[in-house]
Amino acid sequence: MIQLTVTPKTSLADQPVKIHVSGLAPGLLVTLQSSLTDERGITFQARALYRADEAGQVDFEKAAALGGDYAGVWPMGLFWFLKPEKLFQRLIKKDVMGSPFQVRIDLFDSFLLMPQVQTEPVASCTVERWYVTPGTQRIPIKEGRVRGTLFLPPGPGPFPGVIDMFGGAGGLIEFRASLLASRGFAVLAVAFFAYDDLPLVLKEVDLEYFEEATNLLLKHPKVRGPGIGVIGVSQGGMVVLSMATFLEQVVAAVWINGASCMYGPSLRYRDIYIPAVPYIPERLIITEMGALDNYHVFGDPRDPAHAASAIPVEKAKGEVLFVVGEADRNFNSKLFAELAIERMKKHGKKNYTLLSYPGAGHLIEPPGSPLCSISVIRGNPKPVHWGGEPEAHAKAQEHSWEEIIKFLKLHLGSSGTGNL
Alpha-carbon distance of 47 to 106, in angstroms, equals 9
328 an active-site residue? Answer: yes
Helices (H) and strands (E) in the chain, counts: 6, 25
**How far apart are alpha carbons 408 and 230 in whole angstroms?**
9
CA distance 243 to 311: 10
Instruction: Tell me, yes or no, if 197 is annotated catalytic.
Output: no
Choose among 261, 258, 242, 288: nearest CA to 363.
258
11, 34, 35, 234: the catalytic one is 234
Active-site hit among 220, 362, 385, 393? 362
The active-site residue, picked from 14, 164, 293, 328, is 328
Active site residue 362: yes
CA 108 to chain centre: 32
DSSP string, 237-290: HHHHHHHHHH-TTEEEEEEES--SB-BSSEEEETTEEEPPBPB-GGG-EE-TTS
Q: What is the largest CA-CA distance in the chain?
A: 74
Contact 364, 325 (CB under 8 A): yes
Q: DSSP string spanning 350-402?
A: --EEEEEETT--S----TTSPP-SEE--TT-SS-EE----HHHHHHHHHHHHH
As annotated, the active-site residues are 234, 328, 362
